Amino acid sequence: MFLKTHSFVIALTLTVLGFFSRDTLMAQQPGAFVPSFCIAPQIGTDIGGAMPVPMNAVGGNFNAYPRLNATLGARFFLNIHSRWTLGVNLNYKTIAMDADARVSNQKFKGENMEQYFTGTSQMSMGFTILELPLYAEFLVGKKRQHGIQLGVFGAYVFNSRFITNAVKGFIGSEPDRIDSEIITPQVMDFSSLLDTWDAGLFAGYQARIFPRIQMGLHIMMGVKDIFLPGSEFFDYKMKQMRGSVTVSYDLVRIFQR
């Protein structure tokens, strides 16, 4: 029994050493392309939030103050050509943003009826999501250390909130009608109207700064409204726009002959 266990440990050790030796040997032969698959954990920061489309839809000024949050995830990519790579990222992140706006006749549901608010409001929104970008990457440079990425993404929203505080202004049962003035701030919570998924376009730049370490800059632009289909309390759409800076480490490399 001891000999079998000892032999297994030796065989496993030789296999691991052979795997990394193979990795090193292939890295020393830049002229010969060998298809490879890689898994790379990554960390980074993400900034962004939901923006009204078009920007003038709120009927006044819209000032956004996005919050900087951490991003955790992994990259999975397959080199199919000396200059082409297919990649998939899996990211867990929280997107949060505060904003203040001057709105005109913003429709909302209050006291079992539709009401309209005109005045100054403060917004607070947050989305905890699992994001899945799928993209193609073209490598440039003599050492192919720079990558241009284009693709699409999908995202599942675990938790979300969208709260508006009416600071000052007036409320009416019809547009431009003054039924009551805002004396103290009133909270309007639209979180129940938020959808649970998102999708959009993905663009990025990736640079290899060390043999196994890469730094990336990514931009995600949502193409769908953050609110549920059929929501009748807004005269405009809001779509996600965000960017991230990441650092990844090529933990596992698998080569194919």
Mean pLDDT by 10 residues, the chain (257 residues): 43 42 43 80 94 73 88 93 93 94 76 79 93 97 92 96 89 86 84 93 96 95 91 80 95 78
Task: Say how far apart CA 93 and CA 46 lie, in whole Å.
Answer: 7
Q: Domain 34-255, what fold?
A: Porin (2.40.160)
Q: Is the peptide bond before 54 cis (omega within 30 degrees of 0)?
A: yes
The pLDDT assigned to 32 comes to 66
Percent of the chain with pLDDT over 90: 48
Task: Say how far apart CA 208 and CA 137 lie, in whole Å.
Answer: 13
Range 60-66 contact pairs with CB under 8 angstroms and sequence separation of 24 or more: 60/101, 60/102, 60/103, 60/104, 61/101, 61/102, 62/99, 62/101, 63/99, 63/100, 63/101, 64/97, 64/98, 64/99, 65/97, 65/98, 65/99, 66/96, 66/97, 66/242
Distances from the Cα of 247 to the Cα of 40, 41, 53, 196, 212, angstroms: 10, 9, 32, 28, 11
Reading the block at residue 37, the tokens are 């698959």
C-beta of residue 104 within 8 angstroms of C-beta of residue 120: no
Type of residue found at 247: V
The pLDDT assigned to 23 comes to 45
Tens-place pLDDT, residues 201-226: 999 999 999 999 999 999 999 999 99
Task: Say how far apart CA 18 and CA 26 lie, in whole Å.
Answer: 12
Of 120, 125, 122, nearest to 66 (Cα)? Answer: 125
pTM above 0.85, yes or no: no
